[in-house]
Amino acid sequence: MHLFYQPDSISQLTEDDSRHAVKTLRLGAGDSIAVTNGRGTRFDAQITKADARQCAFRILDEQYTPARPFSVRICVAPTKNIDRIEWFVEKAVELGIERISFFFGQHSERRVLKLERLEKIAIAAMKQSLQSWMPQLDEALPLEKLLPTITEGQRFIAHLPADAPPEHLFSKATINGSYTVLIGPEGDFAPAELSAAQQAGFAPVTLGSNRLRTETAALAACQILNLKNTEL
Amino acid sequence: MHLFYQPDSISQLTEDDSRHAVKTLRLGAGDSIAVTNGRGTRFDAQITKADARQCAFRILDEQYTPARPFSVRICVAPTKNIDRIEWFVEKAVELGIERISFFFGQHSERRVLKLERLEKIAIAAMKQSLQSWMPQLDEALPLEKLLPTITEGQRFIAHLPADAPPEHLFSKATINGSYTVLIGPEGDFAPAELSAAQQAGFAPVTLGSNRLRTETAALAACQILNLKNTEL
């Protein structure tokens, strides 16, 4: 069954998806499709007009999947090699994530981030893993502008200090929380950024003893929080 | 500090590494380097002869890191898009893994796998994450030839059956084990393969409720077993 993401319409596909459905997949009137609105509802539908510019469908049934009882937001500094962040977005969506925010730190090597391609990757991953919730992706901000906007929930900053390692994210987090985890750039956080984050309520945590790349650490945080909220 | 991997010599770098050290990094006699043998020992060394074909070094000090008290072996079917398996190897090495084996299943789309490039990726990841243990990578085998070679330790097969989901890997595994986890190809295991694995002592487990890509599932298994063995 082909799954389409249509956040705004319950009667026709976007132009891109219409072309994909009609030209690439060669779907015709009467064919079945599935459509998600990215807000938990998945519709079983039938194509009524196979127009490559404006493919119309009719909803036959719908199924609602509630949001997870916890939410994970990762704030990550874009990597110099953009493939690594693209890879993180794909994997984080597969595992389930509610929100991804990007920031530029003092040691960030990359200063520009285009959200459009990342959104496409997130949509593809949501569809591939048969999910009905589309995560929110935020435009990149300087860290000092991002921090004051995050004032609620359980806030963590992943950091491997030279001296005593902080508590592990798995034991520090409590279940069913609304979590935000800050993951540093490849050059790590600057000391002033670390103190600013701690003043803003972000508790230092470790994700394990190995030195991980930015995108690996970001994904590890997602999975640790998922596991924390899994009935085992 | 530049880290080199020299499994066989404690006095000179390989030709590739010699060229890299002398031509690319422009290291000269007297410069400090670090060398790991991939079996737990890391040497502090000093270059004695900066020859781009045969760079010699002298060991000043050594430090041994014991192996982890548990071991993780993932057996995974190569993905059609080789990038995905390359990515998995990099990330699994970063997180710490002892052995990666590849197999071809009935539903595998890829039937050829070159180990050389994957070995290079594993070495780079080991160095990048400052580890002293080089994981073993095995040539790909048909699943029916691989299964009879694995007769010890805790054996699991990750599978999402249509009916009742099996126990989660995190709760099924016991700590300090020698674990082997089978991860299916993109087209999943064939029913006959599932029964063969179960007869060979592989217990079905789930890695969570989401449908994951092959390489995502393989990495999730690594992290679940790491976390199982972390003092929290």
Residue A137: its H or E element: strand A136-142
Nearest to B107 by CA among B79, B145, B71: B79
Task: Kindly indicate the confidence band of residue B177, based on its pLDDT and cuts at 50, 70 and 90.
Answer: very high
Tokens matching residue A182 = 């800050």
Which chain A residues touch B226 with a CB distance below 8 Å? 208
Strands B203-205 and B154-158: parallel
Look at residue B160 and tell me whether its pLDDT is greater than 90. Answer: no
User: Which sequence spans correspond to the domains of chain B?
Assistant: 3-64, 71-228
Report pLDDT digits (tens) over A41-77.
Answer: 999 999 999 999 999 999 999 999 999 999 999 999 9
pLDDT band, very low/low/confident/very high, at B163 (cuts 50, 70, 90): confident
* The CATH number of the domain covering residues in B3-64: 2.40.240.20
**Across residues A15-19, what is the average pLDDT?**
94
Identify from B81, B87, B230, B231 which residue to disrupt to test chain A contact, counting A C-beta atoms within 10 A and taking the largest count. Answer: B230
Across B205-218, average pLDDT: 93
Q: What is the pLDDT of residue A90?
A: 98
- Cβ–Cβ gap B230/A168 under 8 Å: yes
Q: Is B129 on the interface with A (CB under 8 A)?
A: yes
A65, A68, A70, A87, best to mutate vs chain B, most B CBs in 10 Å: A87
Give A32's strand partners.
A46
pLDDT at B34: 95
The gap from C-alpha A76 to its chain's centroid, in whole angstroms, comes to: 11
Angle of the A82-95 helix axis to the A115-128 helix axis, nearest 10:
30
Confidence of residue B223 (pLDDT cuts 50, 70, 90): very high
Of B153, B149, B118, B124, nearest to B136 by C-alpha is B118
Residue A206 contacts B where some CB pair is shorter than 8 Å: no
Mean model confidence pLDDT for chain B: 94
Summarised one tens digit per residue, pLDDT across range A155-183 is 999 987 667 789 999 999 999 999 999 99
Dihedral of CA atoms A200, A206, A211, A215 in degrees, nearest 10, equals: -60
What proportion of chain B, given as a percentage, has pLDDT over 90? 86
Reported as a single tens digit per residue, the pLDDT across B107-139 is: 888 888 999 999 999 999 999 999 999 999 999
pLDDT, greater one: A110 or B198: B198
Q: What is the pLDDT of residues A122-157, one digit of tens each?
A: 999 999 999 999 999 999 999 999 999 999 999 999
* CA–CA dist A211, B126 (Å, integer): 10
Across the range A76-96, mean pLDDT stands at: 96
Kindly list the residues from chain A whose CB atom is less than 8 angstroms away from the CB atom of residue B214.
Answer: none
Beta-carbon separation of A220 and B95 below 8 A:
yes
As a whole number of angstroms, the distance between CA A126 and CA B210 comes to 10
Shortest Cα–Cα distance, B168 to chain A (Å): 7
Q: pLDDT at position A79, please?
A: 92
Contacts of residue B128 in chain A, CB cutoff 8 Å? 211, 213
- Is the sign of the CA dihedral A99, A104, A106, A109 positive or negative? positive
> ipTM score of the complex?
0.91
B112/A130 Cα distance (integer angstroms):
29
Token pair for B219: 């990495």
Token pair of B160, please? 């999402």
- Which residues are A181's β-sheet partners? A74, A156
| B18: three-class secondary structure by DSSP | helix
> Is pLDDT at B9 greater than 90 in this prediction?
no
Least confident of A108-122, B132-146, B214-228: A108-122
- What pLDDT is stored for residue A186 in this prediction? 84
- Residue to mutate among B210, B215, B222, with most A CBs inside 10 A, is B210
Q: What is the CATH superfamily name and number for domain B71-228?
A: SPOUT methyltransferase, trefoil knot domain (3.40.1280.10)
